[in-house]
Amino acid sequence: MKQMLNNLLTKLMTFLSRLNDNQISIEISSEQNYIDIIIYVKSVTAFHIKLQKKIHFRKILKQIGPFDTLIVKQESVIIRLYKNMESLDRMNPFELY
């Protein structure tokens, strides 16, 4: 698990370093059930499309956990990594976001 998370972060940082966007901001937030990696860029839509095209990134994200996902907001893209899979099985899918 730790190796996959390291691989995910390495792929993400490599991807971000290759973008032609000089205004990238990253925050990491931890809640009880999940960790959010929040990425602020100028063009959220273009960034999300480019990130979705990265097959290795998506594959690693799903290997870490089947509920882990990308959340697109108006000003950011959030990579949500859930910590406790047992509690997720009991949740309604609409409660995940």
The pTM of the full predicted model, rounded to 2 decimals, is 0.72
Mean pLDDT for the chain overall: 78
Select from 55, 82, 52 the least CA-distant residue to 67: 82
Domain count, the chain: 1
Query: How confident is the model over 13-48, as pLDDT tens digits?
Result: 888 888 877 788 999 998 888 889 999 988 888 888
Select from 31, 32, 23, 35 the least CA-distant residue to 76: 23
* CATH number of the domain where residue 31 is located: 3.30.980
Structural domain range at position 82:
2-95
| Alpha-carbon gap, residue 69 to 81, rounded angstroms | 7
Select from 35, 39, 43, 18 the least CA-distant residue to 27: 39
Select from 82, 2, 90 the least CA-distant residue to 34: 82
| Alpha-carbon gap, residue 69 to 95, rounded angstroms | 14
